[in-house]
Amino acid sequence: MLAYGCGAGGTTVALLKRRSQVTGFDVSATRREDARRLVRERVGAQTVPTLAQSSAEQLPCSRRRLRRRVWQANPPPPESASCSS
């Protein structure tokens, strides 16, 4: 299961109580660390590598499919959609 935008980890903890494996993703390095700490404290789960350190096999689906799903669920703001010089 993929917890996109895992933030400080509250939802990730809840998901881990129901699932054996959850991959948390957040653009904020601070929030990812908060989530790791909360998961260790509340669930006792092992520290997992960051998405950048993960191999494609650890992702719930292919990178292309994952990227498409992320953009569908959370499209970028209009100003970042175009490249201006």
pLDDT per residue over 46-73, tens digit each? 655 555 555 455 555 666 776 777 667 6
In a domain, 85, yes or no: no
**CA pair distance 48, 45, nearest whole angstrom:** 9
Q: How far is Cα 14 from Cα 16, in angstroms, rounded to an integer?
A: 5
Hey, how many other C-beta atoms are within 10 angstroms of the C-beta on 38?
17
Q: Is residue 82 part of a domain?
A: no
48 part of a folded domain:
yes
Residue 85 has a pLDDT of: 44
- Is 49 part of any domain? yes
Residue 7 lies inside a defined structural domain of this protein: yes
Q: Is residue 40 part of a domain?
A: yes
Question: Does residue 84 form part of some domain?
Answer: no
Q: Where is pLDDT greater, at 30 or 51?
A: 30
Q: State the residue range of the domain holding 24.
A: 2-76
On the question of pLDDT at 19 being above 60, the answer is yes
Structural domains in the chain (count):
1
Is the confidence at residue 44, as pLDDT, over 60? yes
DSSP 3-state of 2: strand
